[in-house]
């Protein structure tokens, strides 16, 4: 049994009333304040990072009972734990006594947490277990208010774990809606339809978190922001077809497309640009440490099957963006974490292939090693340049009198953007249609007055 308690809202910003949101977010442009105003950021911590389903972590990071990782929901420190009965919980990493964090490790296995400050201890369910010298207290420690606060709704979709503090949010599956199709395809290209999270390329930039989400589906920036990467990865190629080379020339006439699937989620599908055959993906993968050796070795050992295996080290050409903080691209699980109005962590978790039914046999270790190397390429040689550009946007937005940021590419051109019966919007790859759609969803959320709650074991 769990008791629901409203979170104290004394002093919190009533975002709905504070701004004229329709003035800040217009059809073709947004005001600089949405990236620079600390009060808007503060409001987002409730209206976005709390009121919607936020990605917290992956099943494979906590495979066993009592396994935990520490993470964040907005700025709230969270212990994401599979409790001793196997239930996944997102505990506030906050002692109910005086508020210190209970756990300072990044990961581990624990059936209880003992507060370092005065020794109160809690079970992995969040329930208070004991306090030192209880005869000094007149209260009843069985009162639920002494159990650790936790995220009332935690749910997962195929290994991706989300949480929300909003009792009125739709079920996770409805929130994800049409974006589950691309997620399924992204997983199902791996043996058993599964991946395992491994270490990450961890980056940060001095800029608002939405700059990263604006960019997550942006096909317009590729040949400019990533020019050094494209030149680099094609420097030795006979045919300049490596990586995202298909953006060169006239990208909007290519078969790739951008689709907005609702609730802030969107999907850039570049797969139609790649030859649809075994080995098609591997053929356009840029050079990586070990490439030629493993390719030759696999062709000798596995014959025609080698292409299928090599494709597992190729970067899947999709961007699957789940509002507000999850992005699946290539083989990465990328997570956006706000730190402050102008600081954001961007963590590129790598993924490994798992081969539960043994179809890969002794190729597993080698294909994963190669997959590590292909995954290191983009954060090293691509993402760093985007992050530099995000920082320079934040700097540019200090021009107080130049108020507007435009996202109107594709807007108003007859026949260019198509909306289907389900309401999904499809546009050419360089269009900013997805940006306009998601930022209008953001506006809708910012106008709302969600009543967030935590719960505690009783």
Partner 1 sequence: MQPARDPSLTSYYVTDTFYRALVASFADWQRDDRAVTDVAERERFRALIEREARLLDQLNFDDWLAMYAPECIYWVPGTPDGGDPRREIAISFDDRRRMEDRIYRLRTGYAWSQAPKSRTVRMVSNVEVFKTASADRRMVRSNFLISEFRPDGIRFLSGWCGHRFVECNGRWDIEVRQVNLIDCDQNLRNPSIVI
Strands (E), 187-329: 195-205, 257-262, 265-269, 318-322, 326-329
Name the segment binding partner 1 (CB under 8 A); options: 70-78, 80-88, 368-376, 407-415. 368-376
Q: Is 302 in the site for partner 1 (CB under 8 A)?
A: no
Q: Is 457 in the site for Fe ion (CB under 5 A)?
A: no
Name the segment binding partner 1 (CB under 8 A); options: 6-14, 74-82, 110-118, 381-389. 381-389
Q: Is 237 in the site for partner 1 (CB under 8 A)?
A: no
Q: Is 352 in the site for partner 1 (CB under 8 A)?
A: yes
Q: Is 228 in the site for partner 1 (CB under 8 A)?
A: yes
Question: Site residues for partner 1, window 185-204 (CB under 8 A)?
Answer: 198-204
Q: Is 340 in the site for partner 1 (CB under 8 A)?
A: no
Nearer to partner 1, 109 or 228 (CB): 228
Q: Quote the CA–CA distance of 307 and 282 in Å, as a whole number.
A: 7
Task: Tell me which H or E stretch contains 333.
Answer: strand 332-340
Q: Is the peptide bond before 324 cis (omega within 30 degrees of 0)?
A: yes
Structure tokens at 219: 């096909």
Q: Quote the CA–CA distance of 194 and 189 in Å, as a whole number.
A: 9
Q: Is 104 in the site for partner 1 (CB under 8 A)?
A: no
Name the segment binding partner 1 (CB under 8 A); options: 46-54, 170-178, 223-231, 439-447. 223-231
Q: Is 398 in the site for partner 1 (CB under 8 A)?
A: no
Q: How would you class 381 by CB atoms within 10 Å of its CB: exposed for 0-12, middle for 13-18, buried for 19 or more? A: middle
Q: How far is the CB of 328 from partner 1 (least distance, A)?
A: 16
Name the segment binding partner 1 (CB under 8 A); options: 161-169, 268-276, 380-388, 396-404. 380-388
Q: 268: helix, coil or strand?
A: strand
Neighbours of 199 (CB within 10 A): 11
Among 179, 309, 346, 425, binds partner 1 (CB under 8 A): 346
Nearer to ligand FES, 97 or 271 (CB): 97
Structure tokens at 374: 């292909």
Q: 197: helix, coil or strand?
A: strand
Question: Which of these, 52, 49, 50, 113, lies nearest to 79 by C-alpha position?
Answer: 113
Neighbours of 401 (CB within 10 A): 5
Q: Quote the CA–CA distance of 395 and 44 in Å, as a whole number.
A: 21
Nearer to ligand FES, 124 or 325 (CB): 124
Nearer to partner 1, 173 or 296 (CB): 296
Among 252, 386, 431, 441, binds Fe ion (CB under 5 A): 386
Pairing of strands 404-406, 418-419: unpaired
Q: Is 17 in the site for partner 1 (CB under 8 A)?
A: no
Nearer to ligand FES, 118 or 145 (CB): 118
Q: Is 172 left (phi over 0), alpha (psi -120 to 50) or beta?
A: alpha
Among 365, 404, 418, 420, binds partner 1 (CB under 8 A): 365
Q: Quote the CA–CA distance of 313 and 375 in Å, as a whole number.
A: 8
Give the interface with ligand FES as residue ranges (CB under 6 A): 95, 97-98, 100, 115, 117-120
Q: How would you class 198 by CB atoms within 10 Å of its CB: exposed for 0-12, middle for 13-18, buried for 19 or more? A: middle
Residues binding partner 1 (CB under 8 A) = 106, 198-206, 225, 227-229, 231-233, 235-236, 287-293, 296-297, 345-350, 352, 365-366, 368-369, 372-373, 375-376, 380-381, 384-385, 387-389
């Amino acid at each position: 049994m769990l008791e629901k308690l409203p979170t104290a809202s004394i002093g919190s910003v009533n975002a709905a009333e504070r701004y004229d949101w329709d003035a800040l977010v217009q059809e073709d442009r947004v005001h600089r304040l949405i990236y620079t105003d600390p009060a808007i950021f503060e409001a987002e911590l409730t209206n976005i990072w709390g009121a919607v389903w936020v990605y917290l972590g992956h099943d494979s990071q906590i495979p066993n009972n009592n396994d935990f990782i520490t993470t964040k929901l907005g700025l709230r420190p969270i212990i994401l734990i599979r409790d001793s009965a196997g239930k996944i919980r997102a505990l506030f990493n906050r002692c109910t006594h005086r508020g210190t964090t209970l756990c300072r490790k990044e990961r581990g296995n624990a059936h209880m947490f003992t507060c370092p400050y005065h020794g109160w201890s809690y079970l992995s369910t969040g329930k208070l277990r004991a306090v030192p010298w209880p005869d000094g207290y007149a209260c009843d420690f069985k009162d639920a208010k002494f159990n650790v606060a936790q995220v009332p709704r935690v749910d997962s979709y195929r290994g991706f774990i989300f949480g929300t503090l909003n009792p009125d949010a739709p079920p996770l599956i409805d929130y994800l809606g049409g974006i589950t199709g691309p997620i399924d395809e992204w997983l199902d290209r791996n043996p058993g339809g599964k991946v395992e999270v491994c270490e990450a390329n961890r980056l940060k930039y001095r800029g608002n978190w939405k700059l990263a989400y604006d960019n997550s589906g942006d096909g317009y920036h590729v040949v400019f922001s990533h020019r050094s990467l494209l030149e680099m990865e094609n420097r030795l190629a006979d045919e300049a077809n490596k990586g995202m080379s298909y953006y060169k020339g006239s990208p909007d006439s290519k078969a790739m497309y951008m689709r907005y699937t609702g609730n802030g989620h969107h999907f850039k599908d570049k797969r139609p640009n790649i030859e649809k055959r075994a080995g098609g993906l591997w053929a356009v993968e840029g050079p990586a440490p070990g490439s030629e050796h493993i390719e030759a070795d696999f062709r000798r050992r596995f014959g025609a099957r080698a292409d299928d295996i090599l494709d597992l080290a190729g970067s899947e050409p999709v961007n699957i963006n789940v509002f507000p903080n999850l992005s699946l691209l290539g083989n990465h699980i990328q997570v956006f974490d706000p730190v402050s109005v102008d600081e954001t962590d961007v963590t590129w978790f790598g993924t490994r292939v798992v081969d539960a039914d043994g179809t890969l046999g002794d190729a597993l270790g080698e294909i994963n090693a190669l997959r590590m190397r292909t995954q290191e390429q983009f954060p090293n040689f691509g993402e760093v340049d985007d992050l530099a550009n995000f920082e320079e946007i934040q700097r540019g937005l200090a021009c107080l009198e130049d108020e507007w940021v435009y996202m109107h590419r594709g807007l108003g051109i007859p026949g260019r953007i198509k909306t289907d019966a389900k309401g999904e919007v499809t546009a050419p790859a360089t269009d900013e249609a997805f940006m306009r759609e998601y930022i209008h969803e953001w506006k809708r959320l910012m106008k709302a007055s969600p009543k967030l709650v935590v719960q505690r074991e009783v």
